[in-house]
Amino acid sequence: MSRGDEDPLVLASDDAEALESGESPPPTTRRLPSLILEPAVFLVFFGRFLTDAAYQNQILYQTCVTVMKHNTTECQPFLGRDRGNSDEYKNIEPQVQGYAATIMMINAILESTIPAIVSLFLGPWSDKFGRRPILLSTYTGFLISASILIVLTQISAITNINPWWFLLSAVPSVFSGGTCALITVLYCHVSDVATESARAMGMVSMEAALGLGMMTGSMAGGYIYAAVGARTLFILVGSLITVALLYVIFLVPESLNPEDLQSESRIRGFFRLDLVKNLVMTCCRKRENYDRAIIWMVMMSLTMCIFAMEGEGTVNYMFMQKQFDWTVTDYSVFNTSRIVIQVVGSIIAMVLLRRLLKVSIITMTMLAFACCVLEGTVRATAQYGQEMYLALVLGMMRGVMSPMCKAILSQLTPSSEIGKIFSVTTSLQSLSPLGAAPLYTAVYAATVSSYTGAFNFISVALYFLCYCFSATVFGMKKSMESNTAYQAFGS
């Protein structure tokens, strides 16, 4: 059985083949169980997204009773468990939401900027000292944040507290690297342990665990919160993250070869500006053939994708409410359908195109970007709600876009540098929403009365540029097929 016919989810390689040929097995080769990290990834993202609605409701309620000085009866609907139909609630709602929105905006900035900066240190550090310490620190940070949230909710059940205190729950997770550092090290881990033939599917598998955790957490959070309340929900989240942390401690080995790890002080090794300098030099240094140009085109493609998705998310609900008169329920059904269609589309694309038809990684990337261009065009010109679902079908390969790009990066980058490349990529992706939200909001506000869906053309332009980048990479690959790395992502 050839490597291309192996189960792509088994991130291992055959040492026996190397021994039979008289060669020593590669030093980073190890046999790991299938789906070694995915369960822990699913649990932590499921837990994190369970808290979204409850967290915001706690801030809204404490803003109402503590800052605005209203009584508990008037503020009760802000807990999100009862409908606010009274005139008193409708009168105070704009002021409470406006004040709470500032707190949540500060929280979003903290969770975007600080992890993006920390990740610039953690990526190069993990190349020298291993992936496992970063996994442990990020999971521990999430657990401490969940514990602080439990304590704050317990205190607020006894006495009202200023809503700004809830920002404390973000501190441990953001300073341990947060989601930005975790995603960086997850894809580094896949790159470390996967064979070349399995690497693309490993990226898809990791992306599926992330997406499934986010989707189920977002969908289940409201129902669980309505059934048990905020305190019990946060305790459940803390328990899930604890299980995930224990899973990493006992079942996830270091993905780098111990002989390749440095023995100097890990703490001193982190607080070194030369790591960031080295990171910048790694991304900018001249490489063989067209490697540097390809790496930057792929990195910018990944960043522009997040920019487009975050920008769309800022105004999508307002657009669909005005254009199609959709309710919150209609929008929730649409979002659920989008995730399901993307998951199904990713599976079909990987099984039919990648495994059976042997379509190359770069060709898969081009097809994914082309689908996104079609989807955005239909969304921009849609006159009826059904056309939005047609757009979802046309964009069903969107889910393989990010994994294929990361597979290309991992093929072109040595294992000693992959952490640096992924660090810069995830940092750029984390910072992109800071520019996306104002741009899409401004365009929507300027065109809402004349052409409600005009903002979608921004996404179309960005995805078309990404398609042009991938087509350029395809052309470079064709001209350099004698190079091993180019053969890897071109096969």
Q: What is the pLDDT of residues 119-159, one digit of tens each?
A: 888 877 888 888 899 999 999 999 999 999 999 999 998 99
Lowest mean pLDDT among 92-101, 128-137, 176-185, 326-335: 326-335
Q: What is the CA radius of gyration of the chain?
A: 23
Q: Which helix (H) or strand (E) holds 5?
A: none
| Residues in the chain, overall count | 491
Query: Which H/E stretch holds residue 103?
Result: helix 87-129
Convert the pLDDT of each residue in 178-199 to its tens digit.
888 898 888 888 888 877 777 7
pLDDT at 24 (0 to 100):
40
**pLDDT at residue 379 in the model:** 95
pTM for the model stands at 0.73
pLDDT at residue 485 in the model: 57
Evaluate if residue 173 carries a pLDDT over 50: yes
Residue 20 pLDDT greater than 50, yes or no: no
Question: Which amino acid is it at 227?
Answer: A
Q: Among the ranges 213-222, 241-250, 325-334, 482-491, which has the highest mean pLDDT value?
A: 241-250
Confidence of residue 98 (pLDDT cuts 50, 70, 90): confident
Hey, do 36-252 and 285-491 end up sharing a CATH topology, with the first three levels equal?
yes
Pair of tokens at residue 130: 């291993």
pLDDT-based confidence at residue 329 (cuts at 50, 70, 90): low
What pLDDT, on a 0 to 100 scale, did the predictor assign at position 267? 64
Superfamily of domain 285-491: MFS general substrate transporter like domains (1.20.1250.20)
Using 50, 70 and 90 to split pLDDT, how confident is the model at 19?
A: very low
Q: What is the pLDDT of residue 85?
A: 65
Residue 13 has pLDDT above 50, yes or no: no
Going from the C-alpha of 5 to that of each of 216, 348, 351, 363, the distances in angstroms are 32, 17, 11, 19
pLDDT 10s digits, 279-320 = 778 788 888 778 889 999 999 999 999 999 888 887 887 788
Give the Å distances, CA to CA, from 416 to 273, 275, 282, 471. Answer: 18, 13, 10, 28
Q: What is the pLDDT of residue 56?
A: 82
Q: Is the pLDDT of residue 26 over 50?
A: no
Measure the CA–CA gap between 27 and 327, rounded to whole angstroms: 56
pLDDT band at residue 62 under the 50/70/90 scheme: very high
Closest CA to 51 of 234, 320, 261: 234
Burial label for 285, CB within 10 Å (0-12, 13-18, 19+), is exposed
**Burial environment of residue 355 by CB neighbours within 10 A (0 to 12, 13 to 18, 19 or more):** middle
Distances (CA, A) of 34 to 193, 202, 255, 415: 11, 10, 14, 21
Maximum C-alpha span of the chain: 82
* Weakest-pLDDT range from 16-30, 229-243, 428-442: 16-30
Give the number of other CB atoms < 10 A from CB of residue 409: 21
In angstroms, rounded to a whole number, what is the distance separating the alpha carbons of residues 354 and 362? 11
Torsion-angle region of 84 (φ positive above 0: left; ψ -120 to 50: alpha; else: beta): beta
Task: Tell me the C-alpha distance between 484 and 490, whole Å.
Answer: 10
User: For the chain, which residues make up each domain, given as ranges?
Assistant: 36-252, 285-491
What pLDDT digit, counting tens, does each position of 378-416 carry? Answer: 999 999 999 999 999 999 999 899 889 988 888 888 877
Q: How far is the C-alpha of 383 from the C-alpha of 68, rounded, in Å?
A: 42
Q: How confident is the model at residue 10 (pLDDT cuts 50, 70, 90)?
A: very low
Q: Tokens 């709470």 belong to which residue?
A: 100
| Position 35 pLDDT exceeds 60 | no
**Please, are residues 213 and 44 in contact by the beta-carbon 8 Å criterion?**
yes
What does the pLDDT read at residue 482? 60
Give me 55's structure tokens. 């967290």
AA identity, residue 31? R
Higher-scoring residue by pLDDT: 106, 470:
470
**Mean of pLDDT over the chain:** 82
What is the H or E stretch that residue 118 is in?
helix 87-129
Helical spans, DSSP H, in 285-382: 291-324, 328-348, 361-381
- Give yes or no for a contact between 119 and 184, defined as CB atoms under 8 angstroms apart: yes
Whether 113 shows a pLDDT value over 80: the answer reads: yes
For residues 265 and 372, which has the higher predicted lDDT (pLDDT)? 372
> Residue 287: what are its φ and ψ, rounded to 5°?
-125, 170
**Looking at the domain 36-252, which fold is it?**
Growth Hormone; Chain: A; (1.20.1250)
